[in-house]
Amino acid sequence: MRLTDYLDKGVSLGGDAACLTTDGVSVTYTEVQRSTRRIAAALHASGIEPGERVAVLSANDPLALTCVFGISRAGAVWCPVNPRNEAEENRQLLDLFGCRCLFFQERFAPLVLRIRDALPHLTTLVCLDGEVEGAIPFAEWIERGAGTSVDVASRDDELCMLAGTGGTTGSPKGVRLTGHNLETATALTLMSYPFGERPRYLALAPLTHSAGVLTFPVMSLGGEVVIMPSPDLGEFLRLIEHHRITHAFLPPTVIYGLLDHPDLDSTDLSSLRCLWYGAAPMSPTRLEEALRRIGPVLGQLFGQTEAPNMVSTLAPADHFRADGSVATERLSSAGKPSPLTQVAVMDKAGALLPRGERGEIVVRGPLVMAGYHENPEATAEVGRHGWHHTGDIGYLDEDNYLYLVDRAKDMIITGGFNVYSAEVEQALLAHPAVQDSAVVGLADDKWGERVTAVVQLRPGQATDSDELIAFVKQRLGSVKAPKQVEIWPDLPRSKIGKVLKTDIRARLTG
């Protein structure tokens, strides 16, 4: 399926139904479909050929999402650009992809003006919501294709999306995702989580990431996508109640904020069927609290840009035992491998390990990308031994539940022992005063590396380093307990909310 086929499927289920809603204003499936046809025709009139790259630089916005489906209808390749990236990172990605056209919001004009002269392939700049020097206003540009019709068919092995890996280490890489990759992710979502007729999905997280891919299964059922232009947890709760939202996605750090929000317990959340969480490990303690206060609707997904969202899944029902009690032994897992994906654990020599043994988590199947764009060396490295290497250390238990222990690069060797930072972080998160934590290894003359923690406290809570060290030592022992704990008002985060350990190390080492 092309990306636009999910929209067209929704049209077939009822063109007059609400498709995209923002600030109380809805556009129907038929209206969105009509707009995508005009966008496809205007792209063709602008000289954009099938297979060429078209980028979208925008905050969450219904017109920007409509452009994604218009790009697909034109047979072009969607390149999502995160507005929170540094300008140079976005320039590198757009240049790597050879983007011919860029849609952008006026608020990002300063970024666009900084990089456009260094993008030789870029021939068309379209401002979605204003007038910017050197760009064409969307309302004027869309008339280019008036009177023509473009609807390009595609094969399932054709490229439909080029996504950046983030660039937190070295230059960013481009992930090549085909129609078959995203069709697999969509099918796995539909078969792994509870859905009914016409779901209502609330998009707070950036549509450039997992939150955007999750719109495809919703549209295939004729559901409504309620888009939040900017993140606000109070508004998030209000919209759930007002629109009777059934599905949403939040990173764990945002769920922690939700649990601390004063309006949570007074909000009617009874419409929720699935609140997905993912992108980082979640504290089992806070997850159990979420199950109690939000409801039995939490659903975990684990994936990465190279294998979007659905490597493994923990559906809402899997958070509970057969007798209805919370399956506390399972809350730290990433669920079971999804039905269309093979997951295994491999040692450094390429041998697959038995259940219970720790090694690198490897994946293969139709969910896995077609490779890194114009980077055969990196593609070969990540695909060695015939499996995609995730970079995560973990194991499969006897019941086939997958446990992520750490990122391979975050393992700490202290006094000759391996310490997994994620395990120490989870212990810290069990402390009632701790909102979030990050653990790194710093060079140490005595230990080789010393376990070092930085924590962010929950609002109104207080503790000190000695108490936190003793708290972890009681749970994990002295080897794994931090030798140093610092308390910061907040932790540095990426554009999707992940804690940036490289920034933490840099700050701790000066």
148-207 pLDDT per residue, tens: 999 998 766 789 999 998 544 457 899 999 999 999 999 999 999 999 999 999 999 889
- Answer whether CATH 3.40.50.12780 is correct for domain 232-407: yes
Separation of alpha carbons 134 and 144, rounded Å: 17
Q: Are 272 and 245 in contact (CB under 8 A)?
A: yes
Mean pLDDT of 67-85: 93
**What number of residues does the chain have?**
510
Q: Are 504 and 441 in contact (CB under 8 A)?
A: no
The Cβ-side half-sphere exposure at 393, using a 13 Å CA radius, reads 19
Which amino acid is it at 407?
A: R
Instruction: Give pLDDT tens digits for 448-464.
Output: 789 999 999 999 999 99
Q: Which CATH architecture has domain 415-509?
A: 2-Layer Sandwich (3.30)
Instruction: Give pLDDT tens digits for 120-162.
Output: 999 999 999 999 999 999 999 999 999 899 999 876 678 999 9
> What is the per-residue pLDDT for 169?
47
CATH classification code of 26-176: 3.40.50.980
- What share of the chain has pLDDT > 90, as a percent? 81
**Alpha helices per DSSP H over 46-85:** 62-73
> What is the per-residue pLDDT for 170?
59
Task: For the chain, give the mean pLDDT.
Answer: 93
Using DSSP, state whether 210 is helix, strand or coil.
Answer: helix
Q: Is residue 287 pLDDT above 70, yes or no?
A: yes
What sign does the CA torsion over 353, 356, 357, 362 have?
A: positive
Q: Is 505 exposed, middle or buried (0-12, 13-18, 19+ CB in 10 A)?
A: middle
CB atoms within 10 A of CB 127: 24
> What stretch(es) of the chain map to CATH 3.30.300.30?
415-509
Q: How far is CA 391 from the centre of its chain?
A: 17
503 vs 248, residue with greater confidence? 248
What sign does the CA torsion over 26, 28, 33, 38 have?
A: negative
> What stretch(es) of the chain map to CATH 3.40.50.12780?
232-407
506 vs 34, residue with greater confidence? 34
> What is the per-residue pLDDT for 175?
96
pLDDT band for 496, please (50, 70, 90 cuts): low
- Lowest mean pLDDT across 326-330, 391-395, 492-496: 492-496
Separation of alpha carbons 334 and 341, rounded Å: 14
- What share of the chain has pLDDT > 70, as a percent? 98
> What stretch(es) of the chain map to CATH 3.40.50.980?
26-176
Separation of alpha carbons 472 and 451, rounded Å: 12
> What is the per-residue pLDDT for 168?
45
Mean pLDDT of 213-226: 97
> What is the per-residue pLDDT for 230?
92
- β-pair type (247-250, 342-346): unpaired
Torsion of CA 30, 35, 36, 37, to 10 degrees: 90
**Segment (H or E) for 396:** strand 388-396
Mean pLDDT of 491-509: 84
> What is the per-residue pLDDT for 167?
47
Q: Is residue 498 pLDDT above 90, yes or no?
A: no
Mean pLDDT of 347-374: 97
62: CB partners within 8 A, 6+ apart: 20, 21, 22, 27, 227
Mean pLDDT of 91-96: 95
> What is the per-residue pLDDT for 411?
79
249: CB partners within 8 A, 6+ apart: 203, 204, 205, 210, 211, 214, 275, 276, 277, 278
Q: Are 56 and 79 in contact (CB under 8 A)?
A: yes
